[in-house]
Chains A and B, each alone.
Chain A
Amino acid sequence: MINIEDIEKIMQVIDKFEVSHFEFQHEDSKIIIDKNKICEGLAGTNTFTKGEIKAAQSKIEKSINEDVEPEITEKEYIKAAFAGSFYSSKEKNEQAFVKVNDEVECDTVVGLIEVMKLFNEVEAGVQGTIVDILVKDGEFVEYGQPLFEIKSK
């Protein structure tokens, strides 16, 4: 099990010898540290490298999971992968792609989201039945907004 102290030592070595990519495996733990820019940080502030993130992530997930209660309801949703205008049919006045109780496959197109004049097909992503349609034709949707409630097989 690799711990934070080890990671710190590894990173000091990496810095010292200006290594840009480093992989290390020990038993069931693996560390990959890549010094390519991962996010454009703020000018003048510290940014994290991938290695620092991976190590810190598990620590955070632990602390978050301690607070979150398991959800009792298991509602499944098809969510928006873009921020833009949702359309329920190919053209205006045309029949909608899907209606409630329709069976869909993973790649069934259930709607469109237009982002700056470019259209993206929304696929069901899972095999199942449409339970509810949560957005109107022409409505603006955010990233991650639930569009359809679906019951998967």
Chain B
Amino acid sequence: MFKKILIANRGEIAVRIIRACRELGISTVAIYSETDKDALHVKISDEAYCIGKTFVKDSYLNVQNILSVAIHAKVDAIHPGYGFLSENTNFAQMCEEFGIKFIGPCPEIISLMGDKSNARDTMKRAGVPTVPGTDGEIQNINEAIAIAKEIGYPVIVKASAGGGGKGMRVVNSEDELISSIETAQKEAQNYFGNPMVYLEKYLEYTRHVEIQIIGDNYGNVVHLGERDCSIQRRHQKLVEESPSPALNEDLRNAMGEAAVKVAKAVKYNSVGTVEFLLNEDNNFYFMEMNTRIQVEHGVTEMITGIDLMKEQILVASGEKLSFTQEDVKINGCALECRINAEDPYRNFIPCPGKVENYLSPGGIGLRIDSAVYPGYVISPFYDSMVSKVIAWGRDRDEAILRMKRALNEFVIEGVKTTIPFHKKLMDNETFRKGNFNTKFLEIHKIC
């Protein structure tokens, strides 16, 4: 079992990791940039080291300083959280070489799933349905034109090294195709250092439904049901819920089994999420796999009662999964609203600043994950997250009601937040009916 873990992250996920370590009796080492010296994760860890200036590349991505601290502090493992270094194959590799366990799957799997085009091919071979598209990356334009014609417009050009909603371009007709591909390749090179792109049919009216899985080093893989993350703005998730209003037991099993099949095929040995697109005919297609803990993991924890963070750490330390597929029971319904420091009335413009007053809601069926406290300054240099509010109910209606109550109780003064947006969303007819897809926020103006 690990004795000491370094958390290579910040904000609410760093706090989450530290909490799990506390419960497991593991010592924690926090790292922080100069700007984050008053951050919550720094205050609650056992040891903390400043590792660089404000900008992310100088601090949270400064692998030399991070490993230097890790070695000095004699940590057994590094937890990368989400974002930052969590899907950086080279970093995972280097940790192993320095004898430090990287809490996540092995570098080969990160690399495989990180290349979105390769991931697609792996899925195809494992018999998981994928969106019709090119076989692998686009090698020549004529091939792309032919395939696009075959699968039918609209199509979407995606960066192999992309992900998280970035590096994608929708193409509506053949005359736009060539220039779109070229632009996408240039952007991919700029953003991700890799110009390779692939083509898929653009499924417009789909829901984004993802399956949470976890595997250990002994070949055991279990799925913990789905999360519906269709409420997105510019491909960034704002609300997630489980179970999905669109799924019935059969579909859940089919998708869960598909996800487990793939995970077992690659010997997946950590937490991961397999993202699917679900169309109106209830056909599901593999979109991408995230090989890290996700922001919305708490939703699954609320309905299954399983502590994913602790399990991830235990599995990384060589333990067997503490539960089987039969043990996983979905109970009730959970909803998460991501509260960001943005003004929903002004096109969600970021509003960093000092939080003068902060009082989070409480009571039955609520969970608040946050790194904010009264007096804390939300920096413009990092993400705009304030809090994740998760509401549980025996059914979806109760969960929504509880969320409304929570949002009404929540006091955050000093910065504008997206609470008003979420309040209005909870009252939206279509949302309440559960009848929406990823185009929901484009169609319905909430604020």
Q: Which residues of A contact B (CB under 8 A)?
A: 4-5, 7-8, 11-12, 36-48, 52-53, 56-57, 59-60, 63-64, 82-85, 115-116, 118, 140, 142-145
B353 lies within 8 A of A59 (CB): yes
Given A42-B82, A43-B82: A142 and B50 interface contact (C-beta under 8 Å): yes
Q: How far is the CA of A8 from the CA of B346 in the complex (A)?
A: 8
Q: From known contacts A44-B164, A44-B237, A45-B338, infer whether A60 and B68 are also in contact, taking CB-CB under 8 Å.
A: no
Residues of A within 8 A of B215 (CB): none
Number of residues from B at the complex interface, CB < 8 A: 56
Kindly list chain A residues whose C-beta atoms are within 8 Å of the C-beta of B292.
Answer: 43
Q: Mark B48-92, 1 if CB is under 8 A from A, else 0.
A: 011111011101010011111101100000000011100100000
Chain A: minimal CB distance from B182 (Å): 14
Partner of B380, one of A40, A57, A64: A57
Q: Report 11 cross-chain contacts, Cβ distance below 8 Å, ordered by A residue.
A: A4-B349, A11-B347, A45-B338, A46-B383, A63-B353, A82-B64, A83-B72, A115-B65, A116-B68, A140-B72, A143-B51
In the assembled complex, the Cα of A145 lies from the Cα of B64 at a distance in Å of: 17
Give the Cβ gap from A95 to chain B, nearest Cβ, in Å.
Answer: 26
How many interface contacts (CB-CB < 8 Å) are there between A and B?
A: 136
Q: Is the CB of B191 within 8 A of A37?
A: yes
Which residues does chain B contribute within 8 Å of A82, judged by CB atoms? 64-65, 68
Q: Say whether B71 contacts A116, CB under 8 Å.
A: yes
**Chain B residue, CB-CB nearest to A83:** B65
Q: Is the CB of B348 within 8 A of A46?
A: yes
Evaluate contact between B72 and A85: CB separation under 8 angstroms: yes
- Whether the Cβ atoms of B237 and A39 lie closer than 8 Å is no
Q: Decide yes or no whether B279 CB sits under 8 A from chain A.
A: no
Interchain CB contact under 8 A, A52 and B380: yes
Write out, one digit per residue, whether chain B residues 183-217 have a CB within 8 A of any chain A CB (1) or not (0): 00000001100000000000000000000000000
**Which residues of chain B are within 8 angstroms of A41 by Cβ–Cβ distance?**
83, 382-383
Which residues on the B side are within 8 Å of A45 (C-beta)?
83, 236, 295, 338, 340, 383-385
Q: Which residues of B are interface residues toward A (Cβ below 8 A)?
A: 13, 34, 49-53, 55-57, 59, 61, 64-69, 71-72, 82-84, 87, 163-165, 190-191, 236-237, 290, 292, 294-296, 338, 340, 342, 346-354, 377, 379-385
Most buried by B among A41, A46, A56: A46
B350 touches A42 (CB 8 A): no
- Report the nearest A residue to B186, measured CB to CB: A20
| Most interface-central of B59, B67, B165, B354 (chain A CB within 10 A) | B354
Please give me the 9 A-B residue pairs with the lowest Cβ-Cβ distance, nearest first.
A43-B164, A42-B83, A39-B56, A56-B380, A83-B65, A142-B50, A45-B383, A143-B50, A53-B380
What CA separation (Å) do A129 and B370 show in the bound complex?
Answer: 46
Contact B49 A115 (CB under 8 A): no
Chain B nearest CB, measured from A20 CB (Å): 8
Give bound CA distance, A12 to B234, whole Å: 13
